[in-house]
Chains A and B, each alone.
Chain A
Amino acid sequence: MSQSYRIEGKGRIDRSKPIRFTWNGRSYQGYQGDTLASALLANGVRLVGRSFKYHRPRGIMTAGSEEPNAVVQLEEGARTEPNTRATMAELYDGLTANAQNCWPSVEFDVGALNAKLSRFFPAGFYYKTFMWPAALWEPLYEKIIRRAAGMGESPEEIDPDSYAQHFAHCDVLIAGGGPAGLSAALAAGRTGARVILADEGAEFGGSLLADTVEIAGKPAADWIAETVAELTAMPEVTLLPRTTVSAYYDHNFLTLTERVTDHMGPRADDSVPRQRFWKVRAKQTILAQGAIERPLLFADNDRPGVMLASAARTYINRYGVLPGREIVVFTGNDSAYPAALDAKAAGARVEIVDLRTDPKGPLVDHARAQGIEIHAGCGITGTRGTKALHGCDVAPLSEDGKSLADEPFSIGCDCIAVAGGWNPTVHLHSQARGKLSWDDTKQCFVPGYCQWPTRSAGAGNGTFDLAGCLDEGLKAGAAAAHEAGFGKGAAPEAPAVELSEEGPARQVWIVPSDVPLGHGKKHFHDHQNDVTAADIHLAAREGYVSVEHLKRYTTTGMGTDQGKTSNVNALAVMADIRNARIPEVGTTTFRPPYVPTTFGAIGGQNRRHLFLQERTTPMHAAHVANGAVFEDVGDWKRPWYFPRDGEDMHEAVQRECRQARETCGLLDASTLGKIDIQGPDAAWFLNMMYTNKWDTLAVGKGRYGVMLNEHGMVIDDGVTTRLAENHFHMTTTTGGAARVLGMLEEWLQTEWPERQVYCTSVTEQWAVCTITGPNAKALMADLTDDIDVDPANFPFLAYRTGTVAGAPARVYRISFTGDLAYEVNVPARHGLAVWTTILERGRKHGLVQYGTETMHVLRAEKGFIIVGQDTDGTVTPMDLGMNWIVSKKKDDFIGKRSHSRSDTAREGRKQLVGIMTEDPNVVLPEGAHLVNQPGKPPIAMEGHVTSSYMSPNVGRSIALGLIKGGRDRIGDTLHAPMMDGKTVHKVTLTEPVFFDKEGKRTNG
């Protein structure tokens, strides 16, 4: 049955280019220009998937991006992509696709058992069915849901394709390249405006590609070709086929997904991205996305073979495929008649079931003239067939359309083409905060007011006739260009088209059946999520009448198709139940993206090494050569530890810690934030920013400072040195550097603009080598001739300039280890050479290079805090036991007033203490909570561990923590229950200093 449904001589496919593809493991043939859906239909494949909940057999329902049923798993392995709409997947040689939602196969599906058990899967089944007993959730329910409700499988390998992001600006962005969009582009483009025209299809033309109409006396295809040719010749016009405008954000910012090579299939060549994600700022937009046909709600309307009438016509005219040989067209309006006529002309047996009691007009006359039988005033009351449709029941309806007026009769058919009216595609308009208004005549929502500069045109605006679409498009294009500053706003004259006169429509929202709703037959409105009209009734009975509740309770509109074919029908059912008008029920918010967008496209180039920038210090090459293991600190790559042959992290850190205290150690401290502060008001400014006094600091001396926010909480710390009367060098934490500079600038610019203070980040200008330990002095003496490094002459917190290891240097006597230490700052370009020289000369002094982990242990031994680890934004200097750093003499500094607020000044705040485990080998996990007495939860928490290490220099584990009223509880015993729920460690609160409590080692 190779392509036995092809219609001779019809369609825009290229019969000279046959294409082989594989569906569910079987090989088929299609043609260039086919979609997977059209090729499957050409080969008579009707059953393409199983439904989400009941696993009912489903077929292709649409010919566009609104497809709810035919979502397939495209390709295999690393390139596999779930939820691909077969109606949008262009056929390429070797395409492989498989059905989703069925196990073990689409033909024989175990999950179809769900259909037999459907009374157990009512609306809200997630919330109800899996409630009892909760203990079964993980072992049972989750597995059932995963297997039964899986929406395809995500790839498990790294995506081998490349993607790109592209920023663009334009005067007029047009979404949709059908008759209205093409006209708009033409009118706007002729003014010289910068225009982007995007259409999700492979070809421009939209609905015209499936039409037999003539424009200006020529076939529509000629008009499309001429228009596209004229647009292509315009230098300021960008044409983007295969590009979906997927999101509309504030200030006319829109995102587009361009499928650059998807239609070619997997490619080894990645010089061109597979997809391109456009971020466009448009002065004006024109939304011309057309309209989506509404299915009719009738009993068992989900059989494979039931499709939209417009889709049937598209398959016939655009793809040259007959969707069935015996077609029943079920409609309440004239728009389905051309489909019936085209099907008849293509050789199908066609009957029309028309809800209208007396359909009339030229189209109806034409159909009758062609010998098509019209069952007027009738509705389809049921369908036959499981894996393929083979008939339907038809009965005359009562006057109100709510019941049958007579017994049903049967018609044999393998395709039902349904036409329930049209919904303008208002998604982008709604995303842009545009209002929707209900048009009673057209029975649909149309775009209303929008605050952004946008227009809707054509079917997307509720203008369904071709002449109107062309005219509206031209006018919108001219007007948008004019408002963007191009042209005079006058639209070109619209080309002539034959007027198509359509009679009035009859809308029957729920077509009755011979059995009551929900009894034995299902009226599906949401095919993808398997939601029926009866489910909406159930939701209403249970009180979920608001549209947002209805959506979540029934999951209507929540599939990957976002309810493009189902939402309005759902609203209509609810309106019927509530005896309200549809607009009174309201609509849910349309959310981006319009169609599923791949993460690859959104990520663009920003993956792998481009995912996040890396900052490295000037010494990085040496660290790599020396085998450092790196730690991410903000964007920085910092050496974490330097393992020697076979050492694990613990062994390496213990060795580094011991040696740094025994002989000497070297740390790359270049990442510390460094801010150069100058100006006559610099000292005054530091007085405001830090808690202690700075105007009294002598030139050439440094001071440790703690910085607060206005809430009085510690946000950063560091040593700042006075280089000259009006010149300071501030250091900050590594992670806080940018934030602190930002805060300094904020205060200076917004609060004290009259003050003369100038801040400059110099973090990257200086490479910093910290030399610490008993042998630091001797090593320094080996490195410099012009600085007297003797602590007697170069006191703690003093600053000297000179030459160190051959480089001009600023040396600060700062210590974060508590030992004698020198921070050697050299211009960044000398960093690597100086580091290497220090390592060489240090050899005879027993120098060890150490990383951030050892830095943490050494500082914790001394009880030095790390802001952000031992503090969390709720900690004052007093909580840290640092009352000494808070000046009582200053009238004001940032955060001072907050210290006397009741909560900040109260007793019992969490305070920094040392924590010693009873067992010296136990290293508490950081974050562990302490309680007074272990027992059954809930237990009152007394505080938590902030830092915890095994200290070789103390000879046991040590920890710091924030404990309620901790300063007054030194010596108390508390308990640390562990995550396993069993282990409890006994601990004692101590002073937060574990090593060299007298501070004798600072001067060597």
Chain B
Amino acid sequence: MLTIKCPWCGEREQIEFTAGGEAHIARPENTAELSDEEWGAYIYTRTNPKGVHYERWVHSHGCGKWFNAVRHTVTDIFWDVYKIGEEKPAVPEDWDGATTRAQYQAATQKTAAPDGNEK
């Protein structure tokens, strides 16, 4: 049971949402010209990563809006959510999914602080 932040409504219980699979898979415009392999890749092939996953959710029992999210598939912790059409947020390579974005950023700021405080 996750807590998911709808970019329109805020944090809500997972039961209000429906998962929509991997995000940023654009429907090809020239479907007639695609080879079977290319079309098959569009409808079937997914990255299924162990780690950072860009995925779609819909607030189906809420505002009804689709949005994108970045979730770590090992820990189920979200890095971020963003509206459809917004830029895919970059995730630092050393984010291991064990902390929220805020915690990660607080920790890295500490490390980088000029007073030399360790994280």
Contacts and interface: CB of A to CB of B under 8 A. Distances in A.
B32 A749 contact: no
A901 B13 CA distance: 40
Contacts of A896: 31-32
User: Which of A250, A749, A897, A898 has the most chain B CB atoms closer than 10 A to its own CB?
Assistant: A897
A750 B77 contact: no
A926 to B, nearest CB: 31
A555 B85 CA distance: 53
B94 to A, nearest CB: 16
Interface in A48-99: none
Given A451-B75, A892-B32, A897-B32, A251 B2 contact: yes
Given A251-B2, A451-B98, A753-B85, A897 B66 contact: no
B64 A250 contact: no
Given A753-B84, A753-B85, A901-B39, A746 B1 contact: no
B89 interface: no
B73 interface: no
Given A746-B58, A898-B39, A250 B31 contact: no
A753 B77 CA distance: 28
Contacts of A250: 1-2, 76
Interface in B77-91: 77, 84-85
B56 A251 contact: no
Given A750-B84, A897-B39, A745 B64 contact: yes
Interface string A724-754: 0000000000000000001001100111010
Contacts of B65: 749
Contacts of A742: 18, 58, 60
B76 A749 contact: no
A901 B36 contact: yes
Interface in A658-712: 710-711
A249 B85 CA distance: 32
A486 interface: no
Given A250-B2, A251-B3, A749-B66, A902 B56 contact: no
A250 B3 CA distance: 8
B36 A749 contact: no
Given A749-B66, A750-B66, A751-B27, A281 B32 contact: no
A750 B31 contact: no
Contacts of B76: 250-251
Interface residues of A, number: 24
Interface size bracket, B side: 20 to 34
Interface string A331-346: 0000000000000000
Contacts of B60: 742
B40 interface: yes
A898 B43 contact: yes
Nearest to B34: A897
A253 interface: yes
User: Which of A451, A750, A900, A901 has the most chain B CB atoms closer than 10 A to its own CB?
Assistant: A750
Interface string B88-119: 00000000011000000000000000000000
Contacts of B56: 750
Contacts of A751: 26-27
A746 B32 contact: no
B34 A451 contact: no
B62 interface: no
A281 B2 CA distance: 10
Contacts of B66: 745-746, 749-750
Interface string B10-44: 00010000101000001100011010100110110
Given A250-B1, A251-B1, A251-B2, A749 B84 contact: yes
Nearest to B27: A751
Nearest to A249: B1
B32 A710 contact: no
A896 B64 CA distance: 27
Interface string A153-175: 00000000000000000000000
Given A749-B65, A750-B66, A896-B31, A253 B39 contact: no
Contacts of B1: 249-251, 253
B84 A711 contact: no
B85 A897 contact: no
Contacts of A902: 36
Interface in A857-911: 891-892, 896-898, 900-902
Interface of B: 1-3, 13, 18, 20, 26-27, 31-32, 34, 36, 39-40, 42-43, 56, 58, 60, 64-66, 75-77, 84-85, 97-98
Given A253-B1, A451-B75, A710-B43, 9 more contacts: A250-B2, A251-B3, A451-B97, A742-B18, A746-B66, A750-B66, A891-B32, A897-B39, A900-B36
* Nearest 4 Cβ contacts at the A-B interface: A897-B31, A253-B1, A749-B66, A251-B3
Interface of A: 249-251, 253, 281, 433, 451, 710-711, 742, 745-746, 749-751, 753, 891-892, 896-898, 900-902
19 contacts: A251-B1, A281-B13, A451-B77, A451-B97, A710-B42, A742-B60, A745-B58, A746-B58, A749-B66, A751-B26, A891-B31, A891-B32, A896-B32, A897-B31, A897-B32, A898-B39, A900-B36, A901-B36, A902-B36
